[in-house]
């Protein structure tokens, strides 16, 4: 079996570099708005989980900023190695109760914005290994007050990244996002979509390189488009009714992440940092 450790290190290095570039750009936006807000970085180590093996390692860094433009934004990078609980292992690609060793490295970002005209956003990309190795991730836009121009620009950037790596990637992964980011008990989508992909398997080194290149392209697309949308909308006036709509919409976002999100479940089941896992929850929310 391929030793994926050097590849995990390469992926981790990229995720950390992407984090630093994203955080610098978000801090630059705060400066443009006259704010001195900056990210606070909190390192964490992985805790033991029931059914885990000795010698489990890993952890990560939780980056959090609360500012004038970004009401709450978290950018986390984590890398963990260990074993899955026997019950949970059966739900993970390539794992089982008997073969439950895993490694995972990835970046996860959620931004909740102060101005309801600025869309909230989610982005994550990751590399995991069990008896198999694969990439997953995506990005989706979550505007309380949607603008067609913003939606089209966001999707166009992601489509360009997809088209450069697979002729059918955009249509497949857009459809997957539409299916995944859906709240069945509300019968509504979480936002205006994006892309979602998982189990992009690496049978050999060539496949790993191709899938890694695509995953990097998704990160670059996000960094290219989202700051443009923020700058376009962050100075707009808004009404109490606009703010009320934002707070109610955030309730839908919280419901999805707590009930349906795979990443939330994976983090809780693998001894992740609770604050990092739940950083996706909005700072203020209402339910009618």
Q: Quick check: is 150 in a domain?
A: yes
C-alpha 77/C-alpha 109 separation (Å) is 9
- Distant-in-sequence, close-in-space partners of 61: CB < 8 Å, separation ≥ 6: 41, 42, 43, 44, 76, 77, 78
* Confidence (pLDDT) at 210: 97
Q: Give the residue, 50 or 3, on which the prediction is more confident.
A: 3
* Confidence (pLDDT) at 53: 45
Residues 276 and 74: beta-carbon distance below 8 Å:
yes
- CATH at 76: 3.40.1500.10
| Confidence check: pLDDT of 34 > 50 | yes
* Confidence (pLDDT) at 50: 40
- Average pLDDT taken over every residue of the chain: 90
* Confidence (pLDDT) at 52: 42
| Confidence check: pLDDT of 10 > 90 | yes
* Confidence (pLDDT) at 51: 38
| Confidence check: pLDDT of 281 > 70 | yes
Residues 272 and 80: beta-carbon distance below 8 Å:
yes
185: annotated active-site residue: no
Average pLDDT over every residue of 136-148: 97
Q: Quick check: is 275 in a domain?
A: yes
Catalytic site residue from 112, 117, 122, 189: 122
Average pLDDT over every residue of 158-178: 98
Q: Quick check: is 84 in a domain?
A: yes
**What is the three-class DSSP state of 3?**
coil
By residue count, the chain amounts to 288
Provide φ and ψ at 141, rounded to 5°.
-100, 135
pLDDT band at residue 54 using 50, 70 and 90 as cut-offs: very low
* Confidence (pLDDT) at 96: 63
* Confidence (pLDDT) at 141: 98
Q: Pick from 79, 129, 108, 156: which is nearest to 261 by CA?
A: 108
Q: Quick check: is 58 in a domain?
A: yes
Q: Quick check: is 74 in a domain?
A: yes
* Confidence (pLDDT) at 143: 98
What share of the chain has pLDDT > 90, as a percent? 74
| Confidence check: pLDDT of 114 > 50 | yes
Q: Quick check: is 53 in a domain?
A: yes
User: Which of 56-70, 108-122, 190-204 is the least confident region?
Assistant: 56-70
| Confidence check: pLDDT of 26 > 90 | yes
Residues 214 and 195: beta-carbon distance below 8 Å:
no
C-alpha 211/C-alpha 165 separation (Å) is 9
C-alpha 146/C-alpha 167 separation (Å) is 28
Q: Quick check: is 131 in a domain?
A: yes
Q: Quick check: is 146 in a domain?
A: yes
Q: Pick from 45, 29, 41, 44: which is nearest to 65 by CA?
A: 41
Distances (CA, A) of 186 to 65, 151, 197, 214, 229: 30, 22, 23, 33, 27
DSSP 8-state code for residue 278: G
| Confidence check: pLDDT of 209 > 80 | yes
Give the range of the structural domain holding residue 242, as residue numbers without chain letter. 5-280
* Confidence (pLDDT) at 99: 67
Token reading at 267: 């983090």
Count of structural domains, the chain: 1
Q: Distance between terminal CA atoms of the chain?
A: 54
């Amino acid at each position: 079996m391929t030793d994926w450790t050097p590849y995990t290190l390469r992926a981790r290095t990229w995720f950390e570099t992407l984090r630093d570039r994203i955080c610098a750009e978000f801090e630059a936006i705060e400066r443009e708005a006259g704010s001195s807000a900056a990210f606070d970085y909190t390192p964490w180590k992985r805790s033991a989980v029931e059914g885990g093996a000795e010698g489990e390692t890993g952890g990560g860094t939780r980056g959090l900023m609360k500012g004038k433009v970004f009401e709450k934004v978290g950018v986390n990078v984590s890398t963990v190695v260990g074993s899955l609980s026997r019950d949970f292992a059966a739900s993970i690609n390539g794992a089982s109760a008997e073969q439950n060793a895993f490694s995972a490295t990835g970046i996860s970002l959620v931004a909740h914005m102060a101005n309801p005209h600025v869309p909230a956003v989610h982005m994550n990309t990751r590399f995991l290994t069990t008896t198999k190795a694969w990439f997953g991730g995506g990005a989706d836009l979550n505007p309380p007050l949607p603008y067609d121009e913003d939606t089209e620009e966001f999707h166009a950037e992601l489509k360009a990244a997809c088209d450069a790596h697979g002729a059918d990637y955009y249509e497949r992964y857009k459809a997957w996002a539409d299916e995944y980011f859906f709240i069945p008990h509300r019968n509504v989508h979480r936002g205006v979509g994006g892309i979602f992909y998982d189990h992009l398997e690496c049978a050999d080194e060539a496949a790993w390189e191709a899938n890694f290149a695509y995953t990097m392209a998704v990160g670059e697309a996000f960094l290219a488009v989202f700051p443009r949308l923020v700058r376009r909308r962050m100075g707009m006036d808004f009404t109490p009714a606009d703010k009320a709509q934002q707070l109610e919409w955030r309730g839908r976002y919280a419901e999805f992440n707590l009930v349906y999100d795979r990443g939330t479940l994976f983090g809780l089941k693998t001894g992740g940092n609770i604050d990092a896992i739940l950083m996706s929850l909005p700072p203020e929310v209402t339910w009618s």
